[in-house]
Chains A and B, each alone.
Chain A
């Protein structure tokens, strides 16, 4: 390494705009040498109060008003002022240009760390990863949120805050079911949204009438089986289904349902790539800042401070520690990225056996490929190495409610590697984490009741708030709603209904 002339960019701990600019310039240069492809950066320096504001509106610079964001704010404020929690050093937004917030309280070291982490790490991930490329439109999100905020504000003026709030509550309850998992949605553009919103309102209302006015309610005894179900195929996007088909919603209500599901769709890739995204960003801040150090651009003191916060970010408390709260995505992601580089550069025999196609390959290309084409689930399944499982001392516990005891069914040994890897991957599969619930049928010819189906995974039942969510579905749908938990063989294990079914009293 060339350390002939050490001329650090800065030596103190205070930051200035000139210094931030200087660090950004150097980090950008190094990042380009490593082949990182990013959106342009917009770096904004904010205060801690502003950071709390940003925190509480799901990290977005603007959002519509809702009490739940207020709750978030109250909680954040409470914890922060009591010193129970530090604020994140940064927030970065998947937009073009990519907006990153730096807090004014940070030292220059932290600012440089954040620039490397967010402006080059996360930024390149947003631009490169297939999920973000497919599902979100970075150039339109800020405009769209502005449109949404104004639209909802106008609705509040027209129809009252209460009414809009109730509607939003119901939509938020179904937010996780407002995304298309497989079908690519049309990209968002705010201008188009505005233009077409009017047409859409008209179209939907007319289309709806077609659906409902052909249906003369008949007696309940007419044979359901003769008629095709509606929808013909189960619909995974419940909010979409409601927006298009709920009989009683006003046009403005449909538009709000749409806004919520569009926002949900925007955040969907982030939920699926947390490990990768953070791992990628940590890997790059580590690599980029070390490169600066090797070039003599930063001091030893800088590196000490940086490594201190780096190692606390990627620390994984063991399962029996009081600080344990699940697997730290930063640790897992960072270690996997480093591990891939290691496998490329210095593979062992074990690595050659497990990863024949990446051992001895060019690490930059291999990492880039991994970043672009995977999500957490598939990334872990593909790249988690036996060596890393040993390092993290992973083990798997089987919890079967039919058995009185828990069982350790795999540990980090030759027999357990594959099973550990599959189980960990499955843990990041959103389809397993969230109950799989879809729109199954609408009684178009009868009482217009909506039936949802829960396809049970490993016979896991639904949680406590199910009935409450159903009340929200009922509010949106306007007619009876029922939910069936279905076992893989098609038998209905449990039924929920809103309003609750009256006990049928058998005559005779």
Chain B
């Protein structure tokens, strides 16, 4: 006797827990793979998910087993030309070998690395683990400055243009029904029926009298209900509209980069990667992101991505030109009420001496009050330049929005990026 059961509707993802445990256990490997990918891949391919390769030996579960050596006999099928007593050289690394299935790795052969794919989602999760854009939550919940009007049921008070006629009449009808005597209503109805029947019949004197009598009777009975107003103030219903604060899900990211003569190609390359990271990061947190590229040497210019990253220009350095342009663009196109504004500036820290104070002035007066976050990275191996010292004062004034870090080589981009965007709870920020 057999039972046949359809299990296809049963839970499918039974292995999810085990898979997660596996990923957790090899987190270090996966992170390393992710970081290598960030390091090595070209910028445009960076968010494509990816393959993680873990060396077999790191992932194998050890057991006691036999190693090479000693005496053994192995049986093989498919003999073609061998006869007893044939001798031949031992193949390199057990080429003629092959014990039972699953033994391959024990024989020192077939030790491929263990490669598996993580989805783009997982890739980015590992990349941005523990990170959260500062103040985003606050912006969404408290500082929401744009509103949307939404209907929210009906109220009994409001301005005349919001009067809801159907609802009001319905309420009036209900009130009238509620306030009249049930028996009286039934009587009137009966009399009316009688009246209509008479009116349909052929006319006669007797009938006319009866009709008159009935009408009088109905009028008498209706007298009571006529006292009730057809429409009372009490019946009026107004459409209720509420203003819902709308979290701003739009962000604009300004990439500000120095392309002056002092910026070498490798420094620019590091800056590029930093911007890419920021872009990917914002991409995960906002529905809509615009990116504005501002490059500068002695004067600043808004350019497209291609030009920003790939065209060459050299000259002196006046950082304030870029900041002024950024501030202008914000004023013109990105009202802070609608946009979360992020600015990332990369520079080698070199600036024309007299300009640094101008920079901090523009920052403090025109830019920082409107931005969510301003990150400055100085890419230099040498000592800090004058811009850094100037910015240190800015940081004092805008601790929560302004962050600066130094990067000396490509490998540091990611750690620095993480430090800049470390997950901070509101409380922790206030304490610091």
Interface residues of A (CB under 8 A from B): 17, 20-21, 24, 28, 40-47, 49-50, 52-53, 56-57, 65-75, 78, 97, 101, 104, 119, 161, 165, 169, 172-173, 175-177, 316-321, 324-327, 392-402, 404-413, 415-416, 420, 423-424, 426-427, 433-435, 437, 454, 456-466, 468-469, 472
Contacts and interface: CB of A to CB of B under 8 A. Distances in A.
B78 interface: yes
A466 B66 CA distance: 9
Given A67-B18, A405-B88, A413-B84, A394 B76 contact: yes
4 closest Cβ pairs, A-B complex: A318-B78, A70-B22, A460-B70, A70-B18
Given A320-B78, A396-B75, A461-B69, A410 B61 contact: no
B97 to A, nearest CB: 9
A49 B12 contact: yes
A68 B67 CA distance: 23
Nearest to B65: A463
B381 interface: no
B141 interface: no
A173 B70 contact: no
Given A65-B21, A319-B78, 8 more contacts: A24-B2, A56-B15, A318-B80, A320-B78, A327-B76, A399-B72, A401-B70, A460-B67
Given A401-B69, A464-B67, A53 B8 contact: no
A53 B100 contact: no
B303 to A, nearest CB: 42
Contacts of A71: 22, 59, 114
28 contacts: A42-B2, A46-B8, A50-B10, A67-B21, A70-B23, A73-B19, A73-B22, A74-B22, A75-B116, A326-B100, A327-B77, A394-B77, A395-B75, A396-B76, A397-B96, A406-B96, A409-B84, A420-B75, A423-B73, A433-B66, A433-B100, A437-B64, A458-B70, A458-B71, A460-B70, A461-B69, A462-B64, A464-B67
B5 interface: yes
B6 interface: yes
Interface in B67-108: 67-80, 82-90, 96, 98-101, 103-104, 106, 108
A30 B114 CA distance: 46
Chain A interface, >50% SS class:
mixed
Nearest to A398: B73
Interface string B305-323: 0000000000000000000
B21 A415 contact: no
Given A45-B6, A458-B72, A460-B69, A395 B61 contact: no
A57 B20 contact: no
A52 to B, nearest CB: 7
A38 B190 CA distance: 83
A95 to B, nearest CB: 13
B12 A43 contact: no
Nearest to B74: A397
A128 B20 CA distance: 40
Nearest to A175: B63
Contacts of B42: none
B323 to A, nearest CB: 49
B67 A461 contact: yes
A165 to B, nearest CB: 7
Contacts of A53: 12-15
Contact of A409 (B12, B21, B63, B73): B73
Contact of A173 (B13, B25, B61, B66): B61
B75 A327 contact: yes
A463 B105 CA distance: 11
A395 B18 contact: no
Contacts of B8: 45-47, 50, 104
A472 B62 contact: yes
B3 interface: yes
B205 interface: no
Instruction: Sort chain B's interface into a size bin.
Output: 35 or more
A101 B7 CA distance: 9
B67 A393 contact: no
A401 B4 contact: no
Contacts of A427: 73-75
Contact of B22 (A42, A67, A458): A67
Contacts of A416: 84
B90 A392 contact: no
Contact of B78 (A47, A316, A434): A316
A17 to B, nearest CB: 6
A394 B64 contact: no
Nearest to B15: A73
A396 B79 CA distance: 10
Contacts of B428: none
Contact of A326 (B18, B65, B83, B103): B103
Contact of A463 (B77, B85, B106): B106
Contact of A406 (B13, B15, B89, B116): B89
A458 B70 CA distance: 6
Nearest to B98: A326
B14 A57 contact: yes
| Residue from A46, A326, A437 having most chain B Cβ neighbours under 10 A | A326
Contacts of A72: 18
User: B19, B83, B106 — which one has the most chain A CB atoms within 10 A of its CB?
Assistant: B19
B7 A411 contact: no
B69 A396 contact: no
A177 B61 CA distance: 14
Contacts of A161: 21
Contact of A325 (B17, B25, B69, B98): B98
Most chain B beta-carbon contacts within 10 A, residue among A20, A50, A74, A420:
A74
A395 B80 CA distance: 10
B235 to A, nearest CB: 60
B90 A404 contact: yes
Contacts of A169: 61
A275 to B, nearest CB: 10
